[in-house]
Amino acid sequence: MSKKYWAVTASLGCVTLLLLAAVIAIPLFVVPLEVKMMLRSASVPATSQIVSAPESAQEPAQAAQPGQAAALTTLYRQANPGIVSINVATVRRGTVSGAGSGSGFIYDDQGHIITNHHVVEGATDVTVVFYDGRETEATVAGTDPNSDLAVVKVAQLPEGIHALPLGDSDQVAVGESVIAIGNPFGLGNSMSAGIVSAVGRTIDSGATPFSIPRAIQTDAAINPGNSGGPLLNLQGQVIGVNAQIATSGIQAANAGVGFAIPSNTVRLVAPVLIEKSAYAWPWLGITGGSVNLSIMKANGLSVQQGAYVDKVSADSPAGKAGLRGSSTQQAADSLDAPVGGDVIIAIDDKPVVTFDDLLFEIASRKPGDQVRLTIVRGRQRMDVTATLAPRPRQ
């Protein structure tokens, strides 16, 4: 089973998505990318926490062509004034109990800055450091633990600082060149380059039992401290917010598998955080997974597609609509597979091929919206209507 560990405390986080698949032999650790430490004495400065990646995580550098290098240099110069480092501290009764750092980028000319929820969570003091070293205090305008996004605000942007444009993350393609700029290990203004390794990933939110769909996977080197910084395309558009890395668990450092929250989620959430300080996500109230071969055989399904319903939350929209979860387990291909649950194959006539498709479609709607779900129950195909509710706090 995959495990999630915070970068500093290494305490086990909650598992937020039921994975209906075989357990892989090598455990996967997903690490939020803020640099955070407990200050046990005033003699331990945050700047002393510099860690090198293990040799096994370092890949041979490839020499860039002259034209490519010039293009990356130009892109860095254009984008860097819109990117910041964020230092946070938690002060209780006059004592600093914790401190850390992350990254962010300028969202608009009103001083709003995008970062991760986990960067500023619990912080009482927030300081923004601009690319040229100027510092200013900031306030948290709003946070959304479900999408791991937050907005902080400075009173005024210094001269020469500008907002970065948002790209369309739905148009991002595998193989596309990208760069990440941020504050890894407290080393501000650091750039790395890579490609989009995959799109459509689903990642844990980290702070809630819910998941973030349509995340972008990249091999650009991102490390603790890159949290909240932008993943940019070669046009200088933000296509994602760097948030997590997957490691073997030996060390929280880049191993070539990083994840960014899609820019279209930023476009959806940020304006509401600025206006209302919180975002209300819709909730259906099921857990499950994609139909795999074992589930297909155990349930007598004709095709290997759809979102399998394993559990239905009590008093949820799904429960009120009459959706059914698994009733028992049955052996299939030497694996125990759940049986008896509904399979959702469409939502408002849009095909649902995987559970991720269902997550995305639900997340694209609002509380109070009605959705028509086409389900397969046994050998019957039917439609049910559910009215989405706001996600519960827990």
Nearest alpha carbon to residue 384 among 393, 374, 392, 370: 374
Cβ atoms 295, 307 nearer than 8 A: no
Catalytic residue among 169, 227, 263, 326: 227
Is 148 a catalytic site residue? Answer: yes
Query: How do 258-262 and 190-204 pair as beta strands?
Result: unpaired
Q: Is 93 exposed, middle or buried (0-12, 13-18, 19+ CB in 10 A)?
A: exposed
Catalytic residue among 148, 310, 356, 357: 148
Q: Are 113 and 106 a contacting pair, CB within 8 Å? A: yes
Distance (Å, rounded) from C-alpha 134 to C-alpha 107?
Answer: 18
Token code pair at residue 373: 């779900």
DSSP line for 205-253: -SSSS-EEEEEEEE-S---TT-TTPEEEETTS-EEEEEEEEEE-SS-SS
Instruction: State yes or no: is 132 an active-site residue.
Output: no
Annotated catalytic residue 333 = no
The string of DSSP letters for 131-144 reads TTS-EEEEEEEEEE
Contact 385, 140 (CB under 8 A): no
**Cα–Cα dist 143/88, whole Å:** 15
The DSSP element (H or E) to which 266 belongs, if any, is helix 263-276
- Contact, 206 vs 13, CB < 8 A? yes
Catalytic residue among 118, 169, 294, 316: 118
Residue 89: Cβ-neighbour burial (10 angstroms; 0-12, 13-18, 19+): middle
What are the residues facing 35 on neighbouring strands? 101
Query: Which long-range contacts link 370-376 to residues 24+ away (Cβ below 8 Å)?
Result: 371/284, 371/347, 372/347, 372/348, 373/321, 373/323, 373/344, 373/346, 373/347, 374/344, 374/345, 374/346, 374/347, 374/349, 375/323, 375/342, 375/343, 375/344, 375/345, 376/301, 376/306, 376/342, 376/343, 376/345
Calpha distance 292→299 (Å, rounded): 11
Counting every residue written for the chain, the total comes to 394
- Catalytic residue numbers read 118, 148, 227
